[in-house]
Structure 1
Amino acid sequence: MQPLRPDEPRQLGPYRLIAALGEGGMGRVLLGIAPDGRLVAVKQVHAQFAHDPGFRERFRREVATSRLVSGAYTAAVMDADPEAETPWLASVFVTGPSLKEAVDTAGPLPVNALRHLATGLAAALLDIHRAGLIHRDLKPSNVLLTDDGPRVIDFGIARAVEDGQELTGTGAIIGSPAFMSPEQAGTAPVTPASDVFSFGALLVMAATGRGPFTGTTTAQTLYNVVHSQPDLGALPPDVRRFVEPCLAKNPAHRPTPAQLLDFLGHLPPGTTPWPEAVHARIHRQDAEVRAVLSLPLPQWRPPPKPRPAKKRRRWIWAVSAAVLAVALVAGTVTVYRLAQSAKAARDAPPPLSIQDALTPERLLRADPCKVLDSEYTPEERPSYTYRCQYTGTKNVAFDLVLGDALQTTGIRTSPTVIDGQGVLLNDISGGCEAMVRLPTRPGSSVMIYNSSRDGDPCAIAETALTEALKRLRDPVVDRQTQPGSLLPVDPCTVLDDATAQKIAGSAVKAAPQALRRCEWATQDTLSVTLDRGYPDTEGAEVDLGGISARQNKTGSTCTLSWTHLPSGDRESDNVRLSYYSATGDNACEKANEAAKAVIPKLPKP
């Protein structure tokens, strides 16, 4: 913590500034006090970026989105002014060193602390992704360690600078090379799975003091990220088991934050998350803040009133002419549409019962971006085949998720019943999840997540869920697929339990993990995923009886992946089969045996 420079402002908006916390490539972070006495961290963008209209627009858009993120493990955005002479953003100030500072001074974290760190980071990513954001720069300096757990910072404007040419030189990339994903280092689209890769790299650094891809130069580090397998030899076995899949080169092979939380389980209450040396550092920072607050504070000044907007000229005649033109053709268009609607009603198949609409077979056929009606606008290019984000009235954002594993923590029963289906609610991040169980799979659900905190979030989510269940009964939401596509296939049906038991050597039973992933687990774990995405190009090429597959062996896990059916736009229907051996033996032999049992059960392309 440093005193303010003589040329720095003593106030931004309603916040009195009292000290400098740090500086990065995009702005300077200052300690401020809100009018109600709360401490805030104010990031003021460097002046050179303020003159770029494109940057301001991206900053404005991302500030609005980032305000939706609020969780136990993020520092929530409180205020921002993208129209200021130099734009700024204020978030909740939390006391604690960054993960980088903690590891540099106290050394690698022990296993219990790593579990606290992993659970907090996975929960933070879940909140960030549900708000429609991708962090894109999850690194040790962007994670603070507080007395009760980690806090992820700097998620509010990460995407705002994605296309900003002034932020980087020619050929430069945005992100931190040692912790970015292969997609960021290359040219592939960046999805929420990119943050999961960074999560894995960050956990390796926290456990060993060194990133898994760090080279002697930046170019060598980037090459390692894209082409080399991570160095995980020093990881404790319990940590390695959940970190390894996060570092898969193919984004489709990485777990989601929800799956990570499910794997990590509950933390014991009342435990101290960090080593004593880290808590001592937190207490020293507390003392520094109290010392700064004891000094005379800058005089508070009300923020200036916003300038009145300029009156726009009204093009009355042009608008009138356009309205008249529309009116002239409206009658013809209406008659045509009525005729088409009548024909469609005659030809449409009858709606399904609610029980049939909630079977895995039905949900696998449904396109999640068709399930809500025209009142809600779906995203243009969804990242997942089983979920879609919608924007409703007043820019309320919904996530519709089909067939995902039901998270039981924090769930309560709603008095609402939809078509005989009881509704479950989960208040999360100030918003609300509303869901119904699948009748044949009580551990899975159809869920609406409403991230808005306006009004009654659960009532709004229940309204959208009612519409979704109604539409799922109508075949009009069916996805158009090619003959032989994997998308309508339930992954739990491509391997019978008897065959899985023969391969694993012990009794196992199919357990759906998500709509498109199934698992057979005892001491060993066999999983099969059938989904659409970019094919895996990493790993050794192996032959599976006439099918060319990619084989990756990482520690005790062997993964086979192959393209089943090209689907255009560089994507394809892909099979991914992983085998984890508890003894570390024969993982690839077991994976090959399972793959040869699965292939005959797949549809013919």
Structure 2
Amino acid sequence: MRPLRPDEAAPVGRYRPLAELGVGGMGRVVLAAGPDGRVAAVKQIHQDFAHEPGFRARFAHEVAVSRRVSGAYTAAVLDADPTAEIPWLASVFVAGPPLDSAIKAAGPLPADALRQLAIGLASALADIHRAGLIHRDLKPGNVLLAADGPRVIDFGIARAAEGSDLTGTGAVVGSPSFMSPEQADGAHLTPASDVFSLGVLLVLAATGRSPFTGETAPQTLYNIVHDEPDLSAVPPEIRALAEPCLAKDPARRPTPAQILDHLGSATPGFAWPFAVRQLIEQQESGVRTVLSWPAPLPPPAHPPPRRRAKVVAAAAAGVAALAAAAIVAVNLGSAEPGQAEPQAMRLPVEQALSTERLRGIDPCAVLADGFDGLGSLEPEDSLYLDRCDYRLPGGDSLDLHLGQALTAPGAQPGSTRIQGLPVLHNDLSGGCEVTVQLPDDPKLGITVEDRGEHDCDRAEAALSATVERLRTGAAVWDLPDTSAIPRDPCSFVDDSRAGELLGAVTGKELTGLRTCEWSSGALMRMSVEQWFPDAGPEEGFEPVELDGVTGYQRVVEGDTCALTWTHRGIDDERTELIRLFHTSAPDRPCERAQDFANAVISELPTP
């Protein structure tokens, strides 16, 4: 870890850089302190990429999708700003060496460590593919060996670099020794490409060398496409797994789920070889040392004015593979924060905090005028329809969530009440999180999160101000009649029509302000988010003609169909998009999804 000079220590969003972790082809990675005091790995993208036409849209798209990835064997994305002068992405910091450094220190891994590595890699790929991503650059440097197992990092970043002039038109992005044959050929990629890379990593970890490495990169790529690997030195248990992963034909490779079925569960009490554990301890000690350094004096900060209307993307809450979803990306026309609010109107709490009314509220306008004792707050560009982060004087921040699903098990009612509503407290985030439940749907709530303070006074004051502003009719978006954002998603398809399309519907539930889920023999979930046209169709999606519009569809895991189409253009940078995921329909998943899509199209107003 290299100490930073003062001119390198300017804040990156809400993160304070502490030390440089490394520099790569796409930029540098720094260890940084987050607003809650915990450390994160922040990747700052090279300015040459940032100036490339279309890069920011691709980067924003990959960030939005990467936020869906969660799992024990990945480093979760915490935050990002694709619109910053230097785009950046923050993820969970993992203390542990990359796989190649571990092999250099410890030699080929023993059988129990290889099995743990395989379980971790397959689990991570299952989570990444479930979110609709292909890693594309699964190499030793992107696999970190933490004390409790491997972690896969940098998923989605390689996709953002594709098409850049810096990589060359039509160039292949990735690391040659760990590419799949189809990737080396520049052909269309599927999740099976990552499975091939997994097989190469297992051979490397078992033998100390990649099975295809040649004297030059072109020779390596030729070997990958045409030669069979020599697996004679690979232990039989690992060879039985690696060999099918390395099949030239993607269709013959196992899926991550099949790999996990073959391997079974992880071994309790597992430990890496001693030399690897030493590297982990050295890195943990290095972090403690960095945290003890005096902070370098940052240069004077002159933050640019907030780009209020330029929201690049919204991550759909809770989208997972093998779950059904429809996502509608929408217009965010907003009332100006500085406008006077009509003081004569004061709505009853039940009406002001209803799901119907909250769907028309701009979360970044609710607290923009500040509140008593704290002065004005600066809202940051939000990646979500229902959430906004506010910068406080002094550098801390408050996060406001409208209509968030109450899933945290640590939430407990306290003694405080706001406008007659009990306040739930949760300190699992490391600071304070306070919530009031929505009167008409108690499984949803309005939440303020303050990671900068362990007491809840400031968070409770912000939550109280939020409820009061909502009662006065503040922060209402100015939305056209053709927008889908203020509509109840459960009304897009009536019950009788849903029954015709899905079979006997056993349940219909609003699982978020703009998310509806239908349960039957199959599952359909429909949500609302903003999208943007420059990203183009998602990887692996093929065009399909719907009722008057062109959509894009993809079959996932054989029994799930993902289907998208644009409902309405908002401006040059934003559109309203509908995405359907329909699962548990192995007989004809995309045919049923198309029928449901046409039903939604018929109910939506014509743009």
TM-score (norm 1): 0.54
- Computing the radius of gyration from Cα coordinates, the structure with the larger value is 1
Among 283, 286, 299, which residue is 1:285 paired with? 283
Superposition map of 1:526-565 within 5 A = none
Aligned residue identity for 2:229? P
| In 2, Cα distance between equivalents of 1:351 and 1:156 | 33
1:453-500 CA-to-partner distances (Å, cap 9, x unmatched) read xxxxxxxxxxxxxxx89x97x9979xxxxxxxxxxxxxxxxxxxxxxx
> How much has 1:111 moved relative to structure 2?
0.5
* Contact 2:162–2:171 (CA under 8 A) maintained in structure 1: no
Contact 2:561 2:581 (C-alpha < 8 Å) held by counterparts: yes
CA distance in 2, matches of 1:165, 1:136: 19
The answer to whether 1:68 aligns with 2:68 is yes
* Displacement of 1:390: 4.7
Q: Which residue of 2 aligns with 1:206?
A: 205
Determine which of 561, 583, 601 is the counterpart of 1:388: 561
Q: Aligned with 1:23: secondary structure?
A: strand
Kept after mapping to 2: 8 A contact 1:10/1:298: no
**In structure 1, how many angstroms separate the alpha carbons of the residues matched to 2:36 and 2:297?**
15
Two-structure CA RMSD over aligned residues (Å):
3.8
Q: Which residue of 2 aligns with 1:591?
A: none
Paired position in structure 1 for 2:179:
180
Q: 5 Å matches for 1:71-220?
A: 71-166=71-166, 168-169=167-168, 172-220=171-219
Asked if structure 2 preserves the Cα contact closer than 8 Å seen for 1:55 and 1:164, the reply is yes
Residue equivalent to 1:58: 58
Q: Which residue of 2 aligns with 1:422?
A: none
- Structure 2 letter corresponding to 1:184: Q
Q: Specify the SS of the correspondent of 1:14.
A: coil
- 1:242 maps to 241
Amino acid at match of 1:388: C
- Structure 1 Cα separation of the partners of residues 51 and 33 of structure 2: 28
Rate the CA distance shift 1:395–1:80 in 2: closer, same or farther, 3 A. Answer: farther
Q: Which AA in structure 2 matches 1:140? A: P
| Aligned residue in 2 for 1:256 | 255
- Higher mean Cα deviation, 5-14 or 50-59? 5-14
What is the identity, as a one-letter code, of the residue corresponding to 2:219? Q
Contact 2:135–2:155 under 8 Å retained in 1: yes
| Contact 1:96 1:145 (8 Å CA) reproduced | yes
**Higher helix fraction (1 or 2):** 1
Residues 107, 373 of structure 1: alpha-carbon distance in 2 compared, 3 angstrom cutoff:
closer
Q: 1:457 — aligned with what?
A: none
Superposed CA offset, 1:504-552 (max 9, x none): xxxxxxxxxxxxxxxxxxxxxxxxxxxxxxxxxxxxxxxxxxxxxxxxx
Q: Secondary structure at the match of 1:42?
A: strand
Judged with a 3 Å threshold, the aligned counterparts in structure 2 of structure 1 residues 352 and 391 are, in CA distance, closer, same or farther, namely closer
CA distance in 2 between counterparts of 1:403 and 1:237 reads 38
Equivalent residue number for residue 494 of structure 1: none
After superposing on structure 2, the runs of 4+ consecutive aligned residues of structure 1 that deviate more than 4 Å are 169-172, 298-303, 308-312, 349-354, 370-379, 390-404, 474-477
Distance 2:501 2:276 in 1: 63
1:12 is aligned to 12
SS of 1:84's partner is coil
Give the Å deviation of 1:373: 9.9
**1:278-317, CA deviations, whole angstroms, 9 ceiling, x for partnerless residues?**
00110011111111111112468999475244799x9xxx
Q: Relative to structure 2, which stretch is displaced further, 4-13 or 130-139?
A: 4-13
Residue type matched to 2:253 in 1? R
Over residues 96-116 of structure 1, what are the superposed CA-to-partner deviations in whole Å (9 max), with x where a residue is unaligned? 000010001211100000000
Aligned residues: 364
Deviation of 1:130 after TM superposition, in Å, equals: 0.7
What is the CA–CA distance in structure 2 between the aligned matches of 1:395 and 1:170, rounded to whole Å? Answer: 28
Match of 2:292 in 1: 294
Structure of higher RCO (CA pairs closer than 8 Å, 6+ residues apart): 2
| CA offset digits 1:1-24 (Å, max 9, x no partner) | 112245423321111101000111
> TM-score with structure 2 length normalisation?
0.54
CA distance in 2, matches of 1:281, 1:59: 32
SS in 1 for 2:40: strand
Q: How far 1:79 moved relative to its partner?
A: 0.6
Structure 2 counterpart of 1:231, one-letter code: D
SS at match of 1:63: helix
* Alignment partner, residue 415 of structure 2: none
Q: Deviations over 1:138-166 (max 9, x none)?
A: 00010000000000011142211122222
**1:199-251 CA distances to partner (integer Å, 9 max, x unpaired)?**
00011001101111111111110001001111111100000111111001111
Letter in 2 for 1:77: V
Identity of aligned residues (%): 57
**How far apart in 2 are the matches of 1:181 and 1:9?**
39
How far 1:173 sits from its partner (Å)?
Answer: 2.3
Q: What is the DSSP-based 3-state SS (H/G/I as helix, E as strand, rest coil) of the residue aligned with 2:231?
A: coil
Amino acid of the structure 1 residue aligned with 2:553: E
Instruction: Answer whether contact 1:135 1:155 (CA < 8 A) is retained.
Output: yes
Aligned to 2:492: none
Per-residue deviation, residues 340-389 of structure 1 (Å, max 9, x unmatched): xxxxx9xxx999899xxxxxxxxxxxxxxx99699999752446643322
Q: Determine if contact 1:13/1:303 at 8 Å carries over to the other structure.
A: no
Q: In structure 1, how many angstroms separate the alpha carbons of the residues matched to 2:171 and 2:215?
A: 18
CA contact (8 A) 1:14 1:303 kept: no
Partner of 1:32: 32
CA distance in 1, matches of 2:304, 2:134: 34
The alpha-carbon distance between structure 1 residues 396 and 206, as it changes in their structure 2 partners (threshold 3 A), is: farther
**What CA distance in whole angstroms lies between the structure 1 residues aligned with 2:284 and 2:502?**
62
